[in-house]
Amino acid sequence: MAVPLAIILGLNLFGLFINVISSPVTVTEDVFTDDIHLGNLTAEPSSVPSTINGSNAGSVICNGWKYGHNPPKASCEEAWHSIPRSGQRLIFGRRGDAAVSKPLPIRWLSSDGHCGFDVGLEPAASRGSASEEEISEAALELIEKCAVERHVGGLATSIETHLLKGPDTRLNVDLSVFHPQVRCSGRTRGSYTRCTALESTFLAGTAPTSFGRRQSRRVQVALPVKQTDPTHECTAIVDMIDTGDADQSSWYDIWAALVAVNSMCIKRNKNGLAFGLGRQQKIILSVNLNPPIRDSSESVLPANVTSATLGSVPLVID
């Protein structure tokens, strides 16, 4: 006897329903918010030392829209390896605070500039406490849970601190994707640490600021501006590729360019130039280790360099 088609369809739908309600639920990223909250995570990657394991962040948030998509795993692991492993308790906080041993911002960046880790504070906090080893453990979780498993950047909060016997809810660590525009050239002499020392003293405010080479009411910062490390071996100069209109950026973005040049060029014994900074992409930053003596009013650009010639250069490291 033939079974009616309606009964067959009904049995198939009933079986599908049973399979759905009996299957485990898989959490996936929302394609619109791209935001995943993960609590009490354990990271045990095979590509990093097995001595670091266990969860060191109370919450990990994977968010590609905020922290970037497709962070290169090798680049992130390289940046992770550059984080010191000191077990000493440190105070992270705002610059100018006498109690702070690690003034913020702080960034550890890969040599290709594409992946980095930042230490930050929650909005209401002015200080946070952890060791660099504990920071590195939180960064490691970000690699495994966000970069490897979900191919996005992310944020680790409530950093576990063994010295405080509990999490520090004031501190956070993020893994972000970057695409700095940097050119490396020449050879340097001197210690790479001379230039990294500039990172903790270089201006890093986030307020929009007007930069320009002409004195006017529109210009808040007259260029060029030069800053050196205490030994005067490393020099960073902020300038413009055109002497016309002013351009707007923030000292934080220029500080980030300093970190990029240090990681991508100075660390490789080359001088470096970061460009494409500012809304109109006219601001540049040159970093030279053991440079010749030059007057601070002298432009850092050769006479034949313009926005057109810089724009025609491939964005690669020499």
Residue 258 in contact with residue 202, Cβ under 8 Å? yes
Q: For 141-150, 259-268, 291-300, which range has the lowest pLDDT when averaged over its residues? A: 291-300
Residue 234 in contact with residue 85, Cβ under 8 Å? no
Across residues 50-58, what is the average pLDDT? 42
pTM score? 0.76
* pLDDT of 25 over the 80 cut: no
CA angle (68, 100, 204) in 5-degree steps: 45
The more confident residue out of 303 and 241 is 241
* φ, ψ (nearest 5 deg) of residue 258: -60, -45
Across residues 127-143, what is the average pLDDT? 94
Rounded mean pLDDT of the chain? 78
Q: What is the pLDDT of residue 298?
A: 43
Greatest CA span in the chain, whole angstroms?
Answer: 101
pLDDT class for 12, splitting at 50, 70, 90?
very low
Q: What is the pLDDT of residue 168?
A: 77
Q: How far apart are the first and last CA of the chain?
A: 79
Q: What is the pLDDT of residue 55?
A: 55
Q: What is the pLDDT of residue 318?
A: 39
Read off the tokens for 193: 């640490």
Burial class for 252, CB neighbours closer than 10 Å (0-12, 13-18, 19+):
middle
104-139 burial: b if 16+ Cβ within 10 Å, else e:
bbbbbbbebbbbbbbbbbeeebebbbbbbbbbbbbb
| Residue range 196-238, pLDDT digits in tens | 999 999 999 999 999 998 777 889 999 999 999 988 999 999 9
pLDDT class for 253, splitting at 50, 70, 90?
very high
pLDDT class for 291, splitting at 50, 70, 90?
low
Residue 104 in contact with residue 94, Cβ under 8 Å? yes
Element holding 198 (H helix, E strand): helix 192-199
